[in-house]
Amino acid sequence: MVHVYNCHPFKSQQIVQASATQQIHPDDPYYECLFDKPEDVSSFCSFDSQQQFELFEFFVAKVEQEPGLGCPLFCRFATMGTVKSIQHSKIGDYLVTIEEKNNATYLRAYTNWRYQAEEKGRVGVRLLGHLLGGASVWGGVQMEIIEIPMSERPIAVSCCPVTGDLLVGCEKTVVLFTLSRQNQQNLVRSNYKSMPKIEHVALCGGYVAVNAELEVLVLKLEAASDPAAAEELLETSKSGKKKKQHPITFTVLFNVWEHWDQDDFLLIPRHQELLESKAKDCDIVVTMEKTGLEDQAQYQFSYILFRSVCVLSFGRSIIHSLQLYPLFTSKSLEDPTSVFCFFSLPTAGYLYSLKGGVELLSAYQYPEKVLQAVMSDHLLHVITKNALQCFTVRCSAVAARMEDPYIDTTMKACPPSTLEVCALRIQLFIGLRSVCVYNQRVILLSAADTETQQEPERRGLSRKWTISSPKETSTVGHGWNLYVVDTVHPFTLYQEMVEYSSRYVQTTPQSHSLRHLLSEAHLLLRACLLQTPEEELEEALRQNSAQLGDCFSRASQKDCHLALPYYKMSGLTVAEVISRNRPPPEGPSSYGMGFLFYLKLHLLEETDIPSLQEEADEIIYIFSQSEPFLLVSVCASPCMINCSATRTLQILQRLEDTAGVSVPLTIIMAAMALRLGKLQDYTELMERHAEMQLVYGFIEEPRLLLHGGGGGGEGGGQHSQVHPTSLARQLANTQPGLLVAAMVALHENCKVQLEQADFVFKVCVLDRENTLLVDFWEAMLMASSQDAVIQELLFRVASVYIDRLTNSINGSGAPQYKSLKGADDLITSCSHYGALIPKYIFVWVFISSISSYLCLQSLLCGPSLSVGSIVPLLERLSEETLWGFSLHLLCATRRGQYESSIEQLLDRCPQAIIAYANHQLQDKYMVCTLWWQKLLPELCKRTRAAADNGILLGALKETLVVVAMETSPTEFLELIPDDGTASYFLPHLLTCSQRHLMA
C-alpha cells in the first residue's frame, strides 16, 4: 500500500531553452556533462530505441550553486561516433561512452577531459593497456580517448561510486574493468561473468547487478582468501554441474509479440524471489573466466539476490531502471554503510537492502506508467510521460540499524525499514523523457511534440488481443527543454510534514496515517543526522520522538510498547509525559495502553531520582483507575518514595476490600504503616502471615526489601547501586531471621547478587562484627547449590571463625556472638560441616569462643572446604595451645600429611590417637598403610621407651584389635616385633586366627 500526502519537496526550477539545452549528469559534485543536441542521446535519456540520431560532440557546463544563475558553458569536445550511452565516474574523473560509427559499436573512455575548454586542448587516442609516449613531449596534460576492445557488442555501462571500477554489460557477458590504484586513469580488464541476454548493469562496492528482461540477478564479487578454493570454484562454475543452462524464458515470447502495442500489457501475479544462499538455486548459470590481465588477487563470487517478475509484455523493455545505490554516513565516508538495489517496471518498483543481509524494503505501486526512476538518499523520483512523482525511501532506517544494532531497545527506536512508502507530490510536465538526481537537484529532460497525434480510440478490451502493425517513427520535430528542479532541504520537508500532521491530531489523533506521517518525518531527520549531525536536527528529532510517543501511547496493544523508547528519546520528564496524556475533562477518564506501558517500565528502571509527591500521587491514582492489580509493584518502586503514605494506604485498603488479601499487598500496607510511625498496625499486618509466606511475598516483589541493582539477578548492577528499604532495616532489628531467609530466597531465585545482599546487611547492621551477615552466609551454605558460591561462602565463614578465635585471644574481653544457628544446628543440618572428632579427644581444651572453634573444626572435617585457601589464615593461630594445635593438625590431615600428623599427635596428645585414627583413617588404603605400617610400629616403639606408658599401652591394645580384625594370621605374624615380646601379641593372634577360620 502506498500512502499519498500532498507535500512540497520541490521549491524552484530553472529552465534551459532549446537553443542551449544541456543535459546534466548526476554524479560529479561540481561539473556535469551537458549535451548540445539532447535529441541525439537515445539510450542515456531513455528514449524509444527505434529513434536513430547522431552526436559528434558534447559539452560540459558548470552548475551554479545558487538558483537562477543558469548553466554556463564550461568546455566541449568532439566524440568519435554517435553517443548511445554515457556514464561519468567521480572516482578517477573519467567519462565512458558507448558509441556507434559505421554500423559498429565502440566502448571508449575519456580521461583529462576537463582540459578541453572550448576544444583548445590536445587529444590523444590509445588502446586500453597501451600508454601514450608523446604526452610529455607536447607538454602539459592532454585529454586521452581510450579505446576499449570488446569481443561482444557493449549494451550498458556502470561506474562504481566507491572504487571507480567500470562494469560493461554485453548481450551475454559482463566485463569488469578495475581502476588502477597507482594511476586512477588506467583501467585493467579483470574478468568475465557470463549470463544470457543482459540489458542493464550496475556496480557498487563489489556488488554486481544485471537484469535480463524480466529477471534481476545480484552477485557479490570479492577477493578469495584461498586461491586454491577460488580455482576450485572457477572450475565448478565452468563445468556447470547441478545447474542447467537457462535462456531467459520470455525471450521467445518477446520475439513473438514484439510488434504489439507497447502501451498494452497483461500482469500475471506470480513472482520468484530467492535471497542470499537460496539465490544460487536460480536457473541462471554464471561462470567466471580468466583473461590473463587480472592482478595477483583471485576473485570469487556469490549469489546474493534473484528476482523474477512474471509479466507478459507487449513493450520493448519491462525492467527499465536498475540501480545499485551506496549510502555513506559521517562515520563511514569511504566504505558505504549500506548498499541498496533498486529496479523498476512501468507499474512497480522494488527496493532491496544488500549489505548486512538481503531484505525487501519497499514495493512501489505507481498510479500510472513510469518511464524512468532514480533513487537518492531521501527520496525516489520517477517520471511518467507528463509528471514527476516523488516517493519516500527507507535507506536511513537500514543505515541507522547498521550503525547502531541496539537501536530497537527500550531506550531507542526507529521506524522499521519495511514501513509502507508514501507518495509526496506529483508535479506536472510535458513530454518527459529522462531524469537524473544530483544532490538536492532533479534534472529533467522533456521533448514536446510540435504536432500531437490523436491516439486511436480504444474500442473495448478485444483490442489487446489483436496484433497491430509497428508504429512508424515520427519525423515531427520536438521542443526540447531541460529543467533543473531544486528540492527543499529534508529539514524543511520535515517541518511541512509536521505541519501536515496537525490536521490529523485535530481530527483523528489515533489514526494510522498520523503515525505513518510522523514516522516518515522521523526517517528524514535520521537521514540528515547520519550524514551531518547538527544540534538543530537533534532538537527536531527530540520533538518528533515526543510526537511519536504521543501516538504510540494511545496505540493498540501491538505497537503500544514503542511509546517507551520514543518518550526516552524525546528527553521529556515523567511529569511532562503525564501532562501530555491526561484525559480531556469532557472525555472518558481512560489512559492509553502505551502510556501505561511507559509508566510501568519507568517505575521498573530503579532510577535514583524520586518523583515529587504530587507526581507520585497522580501515578498511584492512574494505576488505581486503570490497572489496580499493579499497585503493589508501583508502590514498591523507589521512584514512589515521596508518595503520600496516608492516601496510598487508603487506596491499598480499598484494593484489599475488593480484591482480597494477598501477601505482597499486606507487606506494602505494613511498609506504609511503618512510614506513618504506626508500629502497632505494622506489627498486626506482619503477623497476618507465617514467615515462609512472607518470604514468598518478598520473592514476588523484591523491591519491598531493596532498591537498585536493576531489579536483581546475577547480571544486574553493582552492590553500590543497591540499598535496603526502611522495611528491611526494621526487619534487621525486629525479625532478623525473616530478613536472612528472605535474602537467601531472593539470591536463589536470581533476584539479587551475593555482593548486593552483603551490602544490604552491612547497611542494615552497623556493628563491627555484623553477626547477621555471617548468619546469612551460613544460611546460604545450607541453601545454595552453586559450587562457585559455596566455595566463596566457605572461605568467608572460615575467615570469620578464625577472626573470632584471634579476637578471643588478643581482646580484653570476649565478645558474645549471638548467631541465629548454633554450632550443633549447623553441623547437623548443613552437609558442608563434617562430624567432629569425639570431644574426649581434647578433653582439656578450653576457649571462650567455643562455638567458632567447633564450627571451624567441623569445616576442616567436612568434605567441601578447600583447606589450601585458609592455610595462610591459620598461621595467625598459635600451635602452643591445644585447641590451636588441633586445628593445625586437622588442616595437615586434610592436606594428606597423615604420618607427620600421627607423630605430632603421639607427641602432644597420645590419648587421642585412637579416636583420631578411627575418625580420619577410614579408607582401606589408610588402614593398610597407616594402621599397620605406621601407627602399630610407632606405638610399639614408644611404649617400650616410655616410663609411664599407660596411655600408649591402651592405644596399642586398641590398635591391635583393629589389626586383628583387618589382617590374616600370616600378615599379623609379620607385624609382630622380634624383640622377645611375642607373648604379648599371642591373644590377638589367636583372635585373628579364629576370625579367619570362621570366615
Cα 158 to its chain centre, rounded Å, is 34
Cβ(187)–Cβ(178) below 8 Å: yes
pLDDT of residue 479: 63
Residue ranges in 179-335 assigned as alpha helix (H) = 227-239, 251-257
For the stretch 188-236, pLDDT in tens is 776 566 665 788 999 998 899 998 878 899 999 887 655 555 455 445 4
Other beta carbons less than 10 A from residue 133's beta carbon = 9
Other beta carbons less than 10 A from residue 616's beta carbon = 23
pLDDT of residue 117: 63
Residue 826 pLDDT exceeds 50: yes
Which own/partner pairs from 72-75 qualify as long-range (CB within 8 Å, at least 24 positions apart)?
Answer: 73/34, 73/118, 74/31, 74/34, 74/117, 75/113, 75/114, 75/115, 75/116, 75/117, 75/118, 75/119
Counted residue by residue, the chain has a size of 999
Distances, alpha carbon 897 to alpha carbons 837, 889, 912, 930, in Å: 17, 9, 17, 11
Distances, alpha carbon 493 to alpha carbons 308, 366, 469, 488, 733, in Å: 35, 22, 48, 6, 65
Cell of 994: 579364629
Higher pLDDT, 203 or 12: 203
pLDDT of residue 968: 75
For the stretch 271-319, pLDDT in tens is 688 998 898 888 788 887 766 555 555 678 899 999 988 655 444 458 8
DSSP of 73-114, one letter per residue? EEEEEE-SSEEEEEEEETTTTEEEEEEEETTEEEEEEEESGG
Q: What is the mean pLDDT of residues 71-90?
A: 77
Residue 597 pLDDT exceeds 80: yes
Share of the chain above pLDDT 70, in %: 72
pLDDT of residue 648: 95
Average pLDDT, the chain: 77
Cell of 632: 503493589
How do strand 722-724 and strand 706-708 relate by DSSP bridges?
antiparallel
For the stretch 501-517, pLDDT in tens is 888 776 776 678 888 99
For the stretch 922-941, pLDDT in tens is 665 455 566 666 677 777 77
pLDDT of residue 981: 66
Residue 555 pLDDT exceeds 90: no
Cβ(990)–Cβ(972) below 8 Å: no
Other beta carbons less than 10 A from residue 879's beta carbon = 16
pTM: 0.76
Higher pLDDT, 990 or 869: 869
